[in-house]
Structure 1
Amino acid sequence: MKLGVKEKIVENAISLFSENGYEGTTLNQIANSVDIKKASLYYHYASKEEIYRSCVNACINYFTTFIEETKKNSLYSIEDLQTFLYDFIFNIDEKYIRLYLQLSYAPYQFKDEFLKQIKYVHQSLDSYIAEYYKNITFKVTQDEFTSIILMFLESWYLKCCFIHRYGILQSSKSSFSNELSSLLNIIYLSK
C-alpha cells in the first residue's frame, strides 16, 4: 500500500524523532525526508508539535494494536508467552521502540498528554501479562511476575536499540532466548 504525503511525513518523522529527539529534529529534515519544501509541510501539518503528536499517536497505536492482535490468538501457555515476548522485542519495528524510549525526553508541554497514552499501553500490556499468570502456575505472586516480565522487556528494549545500531541482531536473538528460558525456569512451577 502506497502512503500519501501526510502519512509519509509521519512515517519519516518517526524515524527522525526516534534518532534525534524532538529538539534535534528540524522541519527542514522532515521536509527533505519526503522530498518536499519546508513550506509544503504546513499544508499538511500546522506545526512541528502537530507532526510530533501524530508520530507519538502512531507509535502508541502501533504498540496497542500489536498487543491486541496478539491477544486474539493467544493460548496462554508458557510457549505462547515465550513467543509473545520474543515477538514484542524482535518483531516490533525498531523506530517505534526508539521513539517510545525517546518519550522520556519529550518537551514538558507534552508531559500530561503523553503520560496518559503511555499508561494506556502499560495497562494493556499489564492486563495481557496478567492473563498468562492466571493460566500458568508460577512460583511468584502476580505482581512479582508482572514486574519481572516488564523489567525483562524494558531491559531488552534498551539492548535492542544499541544492538540495531552497533551489533549483530541475529546473535542477540539466541542470547534473548537463553535469558528468557533461564528466567522462566526460575519462576515457572512445572507440573
Structure 2
Amino acid sequence: MNKKELILRTATSLFSENGFENTSMNQICNAANVSKGLVYHHFDSKNEILVEIFRNTTEQMKNISSLSSNESPSDQLLTIIENFFSQLEKDVVTLRLNLNVMFQPSTREFLKAQIEERSSLLYGSVKKIFDQIDQEKSNALSFMFIAELDGIALSFLSIFEDYPLLEIKDQLVSKYQSL
C-alpha cells in the first residue's frame, strides 16, 4: 500500500469512528504515522480527503453495477443484489462513513457533485434493467429497487445491531429472481 492509500484508509477509519467534523489533520497524520507535509502533498484539505474517499466508493459502485448485457434482466438484478450484499459485508467502515456524510449538511454540500454522480449512475444502471421488464413502470420500479437497497444499507450500517443480513438477501433474491 502506498502512502496516499494509507492516508485514505486511515482517514476513512477515523472519520467513521469520530465523525468528519471531529477528526483533525493532526489525528490523521499521527494515526497514519506520516508527516503533515506528506498529507498536504497528496491533498489540499481534509475536505479533499473526504471527496477522494467518496470517489473511490463510487468507483467500487461502478464495478458493482457493470453488468453483462447478455444476462436476462432478472439475472442482472440478482448480480446487483449479490454485489451489493458482498460490498456491505466486506466494507462496513467505508460504507458507514459514506452514509453518515451524506446526511450531514456540512459534508453533503461539498460532496453534492459526487452524490449526484453516484445517484445518477445507480439509477441509470437499474433503469436500463427495468426498461426491459416493464418500460411503462420502469421509473417507479427503479426508484423502489434503489430504495430497498438504501433501506437495507441504512438498517444494517446504522440502526439494528443484529440485522439479519443473509435472510434479507435471501428474501430479496427470491423476490427478483422470478421477474
Deviation of 1:144 after TM superposition, in Å, equals 1.6
AA paired with 1:173? L
Is it true that 1:127 corresponds to 2:152 in the alignment?
A: no
Out of 21, 24, 28, which is 2:22 matched to?
24
Q: Name stretches of at least 5 consecutive residues in structure 1 with no aligned partner.
A: none
Mapped contact 1:15–1:95 kept (Cα < 8 A):
yes
AA paired with 2:162? G
Is it true that 1:153 corresponds to 2:149 in the alignment?
A: yes
Out of 3, 28, 33, which is 1:5 matched to?
3
Mapped contact 1:18–1:99 kept (Cα < 8 A):
yes
Deviation of 1:72 after TM superposition, in Å, equals 4.3
- Note the 1:1-150 alignment, pairs <5 A: 3-38=1-36, 40-67=38-65, 70-72=66-68, 75-92=71-88, 93-106=91-104, 108=106, 111=109, 113-137=110-134, 141-150=137-146
Tell me the secondary structure at the aligned position of residue 75 of structure 1. coil
Q: Name stretches of at least 5 consecutive residues in structure 2 with no aligned partner.
A: none
Once the two structures are overlaid, the 10-residue window that deviates more, 26-35 or 120-129, is 26-35
For normalisation by structure 2, the TM-score amounts to 0.79
Could you say if the C-alpha distance between residues 22 and 64 of structure 1 is closer, same or farther in structure 2, counting changes exceeding 3 Å? Answer: same
Could you say if the C-alpha distance between residues 122 and 47 of structure 1 is closer, same or farther in structure 2, counting changes exceeding 3 Å? Answer: closer
Distance 1:48 1:101 in 2: 18
Aligned residue for 1:166?
Answer: 161
Q: Deviations over 1:22-59 (max 9, x none)?
A: 11222233123322355653444343233223222223
Mapped contact 2:11–2:28 kept (Cα < 8 A):
yes
Mapped contact 1:14–1:55 kept (Cα < 8 A):
yes
The alignment covers a number of residue pairs equal to: 177
Distance 1:23 1:74 in 2: 45
Give the ranges of 4+ consecutive aligned residues of structure 1 lying more than 4 Å apart after TM superposition. 37-40
Out of 160, 174, 178, which is 1:181 matched to?
174
Distance 2:108 2:49 in 1: 13
Mapped contact 1:22–1:106 kept (Cα < 8 A):
no
Deviation of 1:13 after TM superposition, in Å, equals 1.0
Distance 1:18 1:10 in 2: 12
